Amino acid sequence: MAQTLVLLFAICRLMSTVGLTVEPAELLPRLAVEGQLSLDPAEVAAAGADFGGLARAEPVAVMRPGSAGDVAGLVRAAYGSARGFPVSARGHGHCTGGQALAPGGVVIEMSRGRLEPRPRPAYSPSTGEYYVDVWGGDLWIDVLNWTLANGGLAPKSWTDYLYLSVGGTLSNAGISGQAFHHGPQSSNVYELDVVTGKGELITCSEEQNSELFHGVLGGLGQFGIITRARIALEQAPQRVRWIRVLYSDFGAFTRDQEHLISLHGALPSQRFDYVEGFVIVDEGLINNWRSSFFSPKNPVKISSVGSNGGVLYCLEMTKNYDDSTADTIDEVVEALLRQLSFIPATVFTTDLPYVDFLDRVHKAELRLRAKGLWEVPHPWLNLFVPASRIADFDRGVFRGILGNRTSGPILIYPMNKHKWDDRSSVVTPDEEVFYLVAFLRSALSDSDDPTQSLEYLSQQNQKILEFCDEVGIEMKQYLPHHPSRTEWARHFGPKWARFVRRKAQFDPKFILGTGQGIFQPSSSPLSLLFPS
């Protein structure tokens, strides 16, 4: 470890004076860590890009940590140097705006530093709950497989895509259709080990070092790097009844969605376990790349359903069951569906194993990879829209700005604010019910259709943001990206002063998460409180 620190200090001095002129081969023999610190051009180039394909900035080096001590040692080296250098944690590289980039610094490849032995669930007599301790770079798909294999357990709250790192989703929130009941993933963690921007390895929870605990959850990587997370577990169901119903009336669609999430406190037999939805404006198939729900041999098209103005809305729900409840699943689902006002004869159902449902997006990913359509630019835009303005958003965006093309799925589903911990760094609208609206688009550079180009989709995203400003929709970006300090201060609103205070406390040299663009090394905490 001592040799590693000498190496990193040398890198920092070279960067801050004459630039990195020493050949990587001259530095690598001095490396001595549990994991690996690489200057290999191919690895450096790979760490300089992400899933979004919109930003690129190469680090000087890439670390594959062998332990939390490796992470702490690297950050201590950056903190102890005269000018510091950027350090960013990278999970599966699924960021869409360069958030995990570390230009001129070091990227920590957390998902390549899995610890052994593999974690096993445990039981807490004091809380009566099961949990599992996992490495911050572990992928949720691996956590699922490990916990299922040890007691048939699973985390309570999910994201739609499981090939994301635990630390990555907790640093944003982590949401899916279970969030209305369980809250986001950041509300389902008991304890963390965090390396702060000073290189300190600290255990934190609601009871211990709570300021760091709440700051890191949803903190966009600004206050520390999560090296361990204690995740809440529950008994996993065996199977899932997956249901989709269609609407042409947006008011009926949102009323039904909000009714379903209001049942979060009901008995399991009186509520669904997952509630999402999506908007269909493209001519053609209702199916999309997020699932293989509808059979290719029996496609469902907009033209086959009476839509109003070419726009349909799909409400998506699941009901979990196992052998003991299989005899009653039809009755339970039918009773819940009778409470809804969807278009008659548009009920589509399928039954599948619980794991297959949770991993549904990955199957579509494999198909897109085979066609060369996965590693393309992804100008995604994710918004939290207050329920009181969601109808205005529909009129202005779904039935206005989008026209009849989307270039990817558009998710829309509501959540309950009281399931989110306001002490965390996550920012949501100031209403009890708010919607995620996620534009998950893919840009195709070789397409003859100009509406599928990166330039067109990026401009359309900007029009959506400008529309919200013009009509006074107080939305918040999820997985946010803002170009200026003023806009970041506006994004955080009343939480901005606390966010800045936490930065000064836990990362005073602004070493961590520089790819987010929130804090720059030349900024002072005082100037950040009063953005120009």
pLDDT on residue 302: 55
| pLDDT of 49 strictly over 50 | yes
Q: Which of 42-56, 495-509, 516-530 has the lowest mean pLDDT?
A: 516-530
For 234-289, the pLDDT digits (tens) are 999 999 999 999 999 999 999 999 999 999 999 999 999 999 999 998 654 455 54
Q: What is the pTM of this model?
A: 0.90
Mean pLDDT for the stretch of residues 314-337: 97
Please check whether residue 54 is in contact with residue 377, taking contact to mean a CB–CB distance below 8 angstroms.
yes
Backbone angles phi, psi at 286, to 5 degrees: -75, -25
Of 98, 87, 90, nearest to 54 by C-alpha is 98
pLDDT at position 9 is 46
Range among 7-21, 207-221, 370-384 with highest mean pLDDT value: 207-221
Could you tell me how far CA 486 lies from the centroid of its own chain? 24
- The residue among 463 and 527 whose pLDDT is bigger is 463
Helix (H) or strand (E) holding 332: helix 329-337
Q: Which of 66-75, 78-87, 147-156 has the lowest mean pLDDT?
A: 78-87
Please, are residues 191 and 205 in contact by the beta-carbon 8 Å criterion? yes
What pLDDT sits at residue 31?
Answer: 40
Mean of all residue pLDDT scores within the chain: 88
81-85, 161-165, 303-307, 380-384: which has the minimum mean pLDDT?
303-307
Q: How many CB atoms lie within 10 A of CB 67?
A: 17
pLDDT at 169 > cutoff 60: yes
Statement: residue 308 has pLDDT above 80: no
Rg of the chain over Cα atoms, rounded to whole angstroms, equals 23
**Cα distance between residue 8 and residue 70, in whole Å:** 12
Distance CA 52, CA 480 (A): 13
Q: Using CB atoms within 10 Å of the CB of residue 390, give its burial: 0 to 12 exposed, 13 to 18 middle, 19+ buried.
A: buried
**Coil, helix or strand for 2?**
helix
Among the ranges given (1-5, 88-92, 181-185), the one the predictor scored with the smallest mean pLDDT: 1-5
- Higher-confidence residue of 67 and 7: namely 67
Decide if pLDDT at 408 tops 90: no
Task: Check whether 306 has a pLDDT greater than 90.
Answer: no
For residue 290, the model assigns a pLDDT of: 52
Helix, strand or coil, per DSSP, at residue 267: coil
Catalytic residues: 94, 160, 276
Residue 494's pLDDT band (cuts 50, 70, 90): very high
133-154: b (≥16 Cβ within 10 Å) or e: bbbbbbbbbbbbbbbeebbebb
pLDDT at 34 over 90: no
Tokens of 63: 């670390």
Q: How confident is the model at residue 309 (pLDDT cuts 50, 70, 90)?
A: low
Q: Region 195-209: what's the mean pLDDT?
A: 97
**Out of 26-30, 37-41, 485-489, which region has the weakest mean confidence (pLDDT)?**
26-30
Q: How much is the pLDDT for 84? A: 80
List, in sequence order, every beta strand (DSSP E) within 248-330. 274-280, 312-321
pLDDT, position 301: 57
Alpha helices per DSSP H over 150-186: 166-170, 179-182
- pLDDT value at 501 more than 90: yes
Cα angle 159, 160, 164 (rounded to 5 degrees) comes to 60
